[in-house]
Structure 1
């Protein structure tokens, strides 16, 4: 088994990719999207973090978090979010007694600077367009894009064409 090393930074900013088991389209069902949203809210009350952006696609999600001062433990948050969702969705169980809802791990990237942050934000919001789920990021219902527009980070018309900042990038 490989020795995977995670990067933990107190008050860090992270990009995450979390994938369903065998890329099952669990989040094609709006009820399951609601379960995921509920899990985020529940975990954030006990283990706060700032959710800067998110997109939920049928078989995976991408998001950027900022952890609070003195805290670097995003792994416990993901474990609790995944557990909360898994408790409420019927699924097969493996030999370890785990529901087959999620891939075992998740992918994280520590955001290094503002350019890195912008590139990952662009990737998150353009992802539903990239997968052919909508024509523009503002058309996708399971994204924080409209919040980013309200904050002045993007124009509503952004993303009708693939942004140059993410040409050839794949964080799946």
Structure 2
């Protein structure tokens, strides 16, 4: 199984409840099971999305919001989730989170990004566009444009719903 970026939108108290469950359960089960609709797998898209933002000339405020949406803000200890049956087994950078207020801010700014316009700044030829994006974008079946637009739209909708519901977002690589 490949390591991909994962996001979950949850109420703030959910982490505390899971941490407590892991400590009280004989087998360490945290009862981590956010609804499937509240989990987003961004695959390997994060660095590619950011690169398109840079290449497309996205202004600093919105580029920083995109980065924050992809990297989080505050380091959060999810070690208690590394147990069966819902082990997330985080790899790479430390898991992070965004508070509900940060989610609302990021969501607003993501809603202002015209990602198709950013993609339009790339060369028309898919192989040239992929070479410019880098990070193995040339290995994306069907080309990077459709892949990245789909992932950006999913990310924006994920944050929009988290903001509407006043949820925080937890990010990790699994």
TM-score (norm 2): 0.26
TM-score for the superposition, normalised by structure 1: 0.27
Q: Which has more helix, going by share of residues?
A: 2
